[in-house]
Amino acid sequence: MADGANTILVGGRRGGEATRASGAPRGLRGDAPIAAVAAVFVLLQLVLVHPTLGLGWDEIVYISQVTAHHPAAFFSAPRSRGVSLLVAPVASWSSSTELLRVYLAAVSGLGLYLALRAWKDLFPVRVLATAGAFFATLWVTLFYGPQAMPNYWVAVGALITVGCFLRALRGHPGRGVLWGVAAGAALMALMRPTDAVWVSVPLLVLVLARRHWPLLLALAGGLAAGGGEWAIEAYAWYGGLGERLARASEIQGGLGWNIAVDDQMRSLGGRGLCRPCTGAMPHPVVTLWWLLLPVVAVCGAVVAVRARRAAATLVPLVCAVTAAAPYLFMIGYAAPRFLQPAYALLALPVADALWHLARTGRDRWRPVAATLVALALVGHLAVQVSVLVGTVNRNVDSREDWTRVAAELHRLGVRPPCLVAEHESIPIGYYTGCSSGNTGGNNENTTAAEILDTARRIPVAVLTGPGGTPPDYARDWAPHRVTDLEIRVAPPG
């Protein structure tokens, strides 16, 4: 590990010599492939994930905290304010979903560019561009890039943190890399504090072993800066940090030993949330990449160890393992976006291994190996695009259903200021322009008595899902049906 931390990559040296020989500016030539990957990533989002795609449930929670056009939805214990801050430059003054999608696509491309650039002295540019392309073309990355969700940004923060961390260990001159570590750690903690801790555990162990105190200060300071607001809220609203963590665990079904590997595999077919995670596995072609990913990453680690540049590959590999561990072995449901930080970190050893496979062997076999790698990547890309298209179409349909329910509520006289309660009250309330309320479940924020009192002042509607029964307090209200929901509207006064 010590050798790898202080050894410049052979490919990196070659690239530097070629640049000097050509007389072209090193930074410009080195950045061009990375910038191209980031630009294509933005373009693919705008083409494949329609900017007109309506807001999802979690997006509504985050956006409603900063917009003046809708009441704020209930903000549960596991959530953090990072996404709300991210969307505030647009959502605070505009209600346009299209504008928000374009803005998020653009900043996600910028984030990818900066994250890859943090590794410039550790891997050849070709490896960085390939790693960025692999991560950027995963359907889960393309789908969530233009959405107001935290996991992609944890992945970006993880890449920045680990890359700058390794450069600092190698004695990179100046304080820029230390600021990069702090900024990346703060970004992770601002988006999801617990994820930031899991990613950072191997880094904390390594920095303590090396006794690199400025680096420890940068990493710990970044985590504290990003997670400080979440901790303050814990004491202000939940009675302490332990109490908030316990409530977050309860909402997530109780964290503990629970093998969710099969759940994650079931979600690979395009299920945004697999809870409960039942049903058949996706077609083997859809899950093949997921099974091969750790194998190819380990191959990349072997290549790096043999080349005596182990640190640049082993550290992100270990951080990817700790980032994925809670979502594979400690939670009772799955969502493909949970593993985005692990995918981003694994992309580097995977790209290194692919380049090694494509360039290894005798001269007569090298074209064969390169062709096989290229065909495998093309097939992988086709599978990712296919899953993405199906996922987008399903989400368009579900969000159009919310729009239809909102239109029916307006027809029934439920207009702002108003309250929508119970089943799917958060998304439907937002689409209707109403506040939302739940008397039970993970989003419990009101009581039956408070809902009845509210009904004396403003329009109130109670929603019941398929096969459900209306709550006792609304049984006498007139029922109406739209899509597969039953709507009961409180009588005036």
pLDDT digits (tens, 9 = 90+) for 430-480: 999 999 999 999 999 999 999 999 999 999 999 999 999 999 999 999 999
What does the pLDDT average to over 108-127?
Answer: 96
pTM for the whole thing?
0.92
Calculate the alpha carbon distances from 158 to 206, 283, 309, 317 in Å. 16, 31, 20, 12
Q: 131-171 pLDDT, tens per residue? A: 999 999 999 999 999 999 999 999 999 999 999 999 999 98
pLDDT at 16: 40
What does the pLDDT average to over 319-333?
Answer: 96
Beta-bridge partners for 258 = 330
Whether residue 378 has pLDDT greater than 80: yes
pLDDT at 306: 87
What does the pLDDT average to over 377-384?
Answer: 93
Weakest-pLDDT range from 5-14, 75-84, 311-320, 416-425: 5-14
Whether residue 287 has pLDDT greater than 90: yes
Q: 174-229 pLDDT, tens per residue? A: 889 999 999 999 999 999 999 999 999 999 999 999 999 999 999 999 999 999 99
Whether residue 375 has pLDDT greater than 80: yes
Quote the tokens at residue 344. 């981003």
Domain definitions of the chain by residue range? 2-255, 395-489
Whether residue 17 has pLDDT greater than 50: no
Whether residue 5 has pLDDT greater than 70: no
Whether residue 24 has pLDDT greater than 90: no
Q: Could you write out the three-class secondary structure of the chain?
A: CHHHHCCCCHHHHHHHHHHHHHCCCHHHHHHHHHHHHHHHHHHHHHHHCCCCCCCCHHHHHHHHCCCCCCCCCCCCCCCCCHHHHHHHHHHCCCCCHHHHHHHHHHHHHHHHHHHHHCCCCCCCHHHHHHHHHHHHCCHHHHHHCCCCCCHHHHHHHHHHHHHHHHHHHCCCCCCHHHHHHHHHHHHHHHHCHHHHHHHHHHHHHHHHHHCCHHHHHHHHHHHHHHHHHHHHHHHHHHCCHHHHHHHHHHHCCCCCCECCHHHHHHHCCCCCCECCCCCCCCCHHHHHHHHHHHHHHHHHHHHHHHCCCCHHHHHHHHHHHHHHHHHHHECCCECHHHHHHHHHHHHHHHHHHHHHHHHCCCCCCHHHHHHHHHHHHHHHHHHHHHHHHHHHHHHHHHHHHHHHHHHHHHHCCCCCCCEEEECCHHHHHHHHCCEEECCCCCCCCCCHHHHHHHHCCCCEEEEECCCCCCCHHHCCCEEEEECCEEEEECCCC
Whether residue 363 has pLDDT greater than 90: no
pLDDT at 357: 83
